[in-house]
Structure formats: structure tokens, C-alpha cells
């Protein structure tokens, strides 16, 4: 059994903020039982996103992804709890909102809009190591 309390970095992306879904995402995180330990409304920059999405450096969709993430304000949230990284990915659903299961954030609230970039409401860290790295980018020293 893993008894270590983990953190995950969650972002409500610009499409989610535009559609007024910050509260709904927070509601689902809290309903699941995780704790919110930091949050803020931010505007992403090339510099922040270049580091945040370092794993996608060189991928053809990165410039479009950066443009999407800079298209409006985002809500950046640090969530805490046992196995929260896996747990939030489960709440979020798979990357493509058309394929994401009903009951998940992306499956219930997202859809394909015919845009080149997959707009899918939320980001969630994919490992405890990514979470630590991402939290340091958005909330240095937290």
C-alpha cells in the first residue's frame, strides 16, 4: 500500500474557463475527496508552456497547443491526496473528449469542435515526478 500523500497539477484550460467550468471542475475534485492546496487564475506564456510541455518538445502539435493554452486565462490548481495523480487522470478521462467516457470531466463536458487542437477542458499531471516539476513552474517553492 502506498501511504505517501501526492500532489497533482490541474489546469482548467482556456476553453474550460471560457465556458464557465472552473467551478464544475473544482466541484468534482472536492466531491472525490481531494484537497485543493493552491489555485490561481493565470495567463500562460511561451516560456511557462515551453517548460510545462517539455515532454512534447519537437512534436508537430506543440505550437498549436501553446496557441490554444494562451487563448485566454487558465485556472491553475494544486490538488493533494493519496494517489491523486492517477485519481485525477481517472476523473478527467482520456485525451480525446469524443472518446472520453461519460462520467468523466472530458466525457461529460467536452466534445470535438473541429479545431486542429484537441480542446479538452483540463490538464492533469501524468506522474508524481511530472507533478513536482509542473508545480514548481506554476507555484515556485510551494
Give me the active site residues, please: 123
Among Mg ion, ligand IDP, none, partner that 52 touches (CB below 5 to 8 angstroms by kind): none
Q: Considering the complex, what minimum distance in angstroms separates the CB of residue 65 from ligand IDP? A: 5
Cell numbers placing 93: 478521462
Residues composing the chain: 142
Is 81 within 8 Å of 87 (Cβ atoms)?
A: yes
Of 1 and 43, nearer to ligand IDP (C-beta) is: 43
8 lies in the binding site for ligand IDP (CB under 6 A): no
Closest to 16 measured CA to CA, from 103, 99, 87, 77 = 77
- What residues from 102 to 141 belong to the interface with ligand IDP (CB under 6 A)? 117-118, 120, 123, 126
**Least separation, in Å, of the C-beta of 77 and Mg ion?**
16
In the list ligand IDP, Mg ion, none, the entry touching 39 (Cβ below 5 to 8 angstroms by class) is: none
Q: Are 64 and 105 in contact (CB under 8 A)?
A: no
Closest CA to 108 of 125, 118, 124, 122: 122
Q: Which is nearer to Mg ion, 80 or 126 (CB)?
A: 126
Interatomic CA distance for residues 113 and 60, integer angstroms = 20
The contact mask relative to Mg ion for 114-133 (x = CB under 5 A, - = no) is ------------x-------
Are the C-beta atoms of 110 and 14 separated by less than 8 Å?
no
Q: Give the residues lining the site for ligand IDP (CB under 6 A).
A: 61, 65, 95, 117-118, 120, 123, 126
Amino acid at each position: 500500500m502506498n501511504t505517501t500523500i501526492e500532489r497533482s497539477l490541474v489546469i482548467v484550460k482556456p476553453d474550460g474557463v471560457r465556458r464557465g467550468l472552473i467551478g464544475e471542475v473544482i466541484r468534482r475534485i472536492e466531491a472525490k475527496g481531494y484537497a485543493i492546496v493552491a489555485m490561481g487564475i493565470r495567463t500562460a506564456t511561451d516560456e511557462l508552456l515551453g517548460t510545462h510541455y517539455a515532454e512534447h518538445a519537437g512534436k508537430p502539435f506543440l505550437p498549436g497547443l501553446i496557441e490554444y493554452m494562451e487563448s485566454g486565462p487558465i485556472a491553475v490548481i494544486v490538488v493533494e491526496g493519496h494517489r491523486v495523480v492517477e485519481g485525477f487522470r481517472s476523473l478527467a478521462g482520456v485525451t480525446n473528449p469524443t472518446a472520453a467516457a461519460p462520467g468523466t470531466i472530458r466525457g461529460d463536458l467536452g466534445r470535438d469542435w473541429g479545431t486542429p487542437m484537441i480542446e479538452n477542458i483540463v490538464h492533469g499531471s501524468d506522474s508524481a515526478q511530472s507533478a513536482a516539476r509542473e508545480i514548481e513552474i506554476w507555484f515556485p517553492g510551494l
